[in-house]
Amino acid sequence: DGGITQSPKYLFRKEGQNVTLSCEQNLNHDAMYWYRQDPGQGLRLIYYSQIVNDFQKGDIAEGYSVSREKKESFPLTVTSAQKNPTAFYLCASSMTSASSYEQYFGPGTRLTVT
Amino acid sequence: QKEVEQNSGPLSVPEGAIASLNCTYSDRVSQSFFWYRQYSGKSPELIMSIYSNGDKEDGRFTAQLNKASQYVSLLIRDSQPSDSATYLCAVNIAGSSNTGKLIFGQGTTLQVKP
C-alpha cells in the first residue's frame, strides 16, 4: 500500500527535552512538508523540502529542525527552544509539477509536553 | 487580511440537504485550489482539487471556482451525518508556484443532523 506513515501516534515528553517525529512516504513524491495544528486552528507550515538534502523554513520554523537525507524520509525535531510544543503535527507529501500540487497527509503525531 | 478565509461555522444542515461551504483568497494569481475534509482527531483528507474557473463534480461533491471574484466553494449534495467534519480550503499561492506550498484556511465545521 502506498502512503505516508508517521510515528509515534502519541508522544509525551518533559519540558526541556528534544524529540524527533518520524515521517516516511512510499508515494515517490519529491516534496514533503511539516505542519502544526493547534485546537480550533488551521494548519501552519513549519518546514518543507522539495528535494533530497534541501529544505526551507515555513512560517513557524523557530524551535524546530529537519533533515532530508532520503527521498522517503523527512524527520522533524522539536527542540527545547520551541516555547509551546504541545500540538498535533502533520506530515504531508506531494509531487512538484504545477499540475499536481495535491498534498497527502499522514495520520499525524499528537505531542504533549509537560 | 488573511490570505485564505473561511467562516468557522458551525454550519448546520439537515440530512439530505445541500451544504454550501465558501472560501475566499487574497492572491489574485493563485492557480491551484483544494478542499480537505478533517474528522475530529484525524488528519486532513483531500476530497477535491480544482484548477480552472467553473464547476468540477465528483460524486456528491461539486467544487466551484471563480478567479475573478477570488472565491472557491464546495457543495455537498444529499448531505449525510457522516459528512459532519471540518472542511479546510487550501490555495497554492502565486509566490510559491514552483514549490507546491499551500496556504490553509482555518476550516468550516459542518454538522449534518439526522
Q: What is the pLDDT of residues B58-108, one digit of tens each?
A: 999 999 999 999 999 999 999 999 999 999 999 987 555 556 789 999 999
pLDDT digit string (tens) for A47-96? Answer: 999 999 999 999 999 999 999 999 999 999 999 989 899 999 999 999 88
Cell numbers placing A100: 499536481
The band of A98, judged by pLDDT with boundaries at 50, 70 and 90, is: low
Cell numbers placing B92: 497554492
The C-alpha atoms of residue B47 and residue B60 are separated, in whole angstroms, by 11
Is the pLDDT score of A100 beyond 80?
no
Give the CA distances from residue B101 to residues A92, B33, B46, B56, B96, in Å, rounded to whole numbers and listed in that order: 11, 11, 15, 22, 6
Please report residues of B whose CB lies closer than 8 A to that of A58: 101
- Inter-chain residue contact A42 with B88, CB threshold 8 Å: yes
Considering only A20-24, A72-76, B2-6, B44-48, which range has the smallest mean pLDDT?
B2-6
> Among B102, B103, B108, which would you mutate to test the A interface (most chain A Cβ atoms within 10 Å of its Cβ)?
B102
The C-alpha atoms of residue B39 and residue B44 are separated, in whole angstroms, by 7
b/e A69-103 (16+ beta carbons within 10 angstroms → b)? eebbebbbebeeebeebebbbbbbbbbeeeeebbb
pLDDT of residue B98: 59
One-letter-per-residue 3-state SS of B48-95: EEECCCEEEEECCEEEEEECCCCEEEEEECCCCHHHCEEEEEEEECHH
Q: What is the mean pLDDT of the segment spanning B39-56?
A: 95
pLDDT of residue A76: 98
pLDDT of residue B90: 95
B79 burial (CB, 10 Å; 0-12 / 13-18 / 19+) is buried
The band of B38, judged by pLDDT with boundaries at 50, 70 and 90, is: very high
Is the pLDDT score of B22 beyond 60?
yes
Cβ-nearest to A31 among B46, B100, B104: B100
Give the CA distances from residue B38 to residues B57, B70, B81, in Å, rounded to whole numbers and listed in that order: 20, 24, 14
The C-alpha atoms of residue B48 and residue A102 are separated, in whole angstroms, by 9
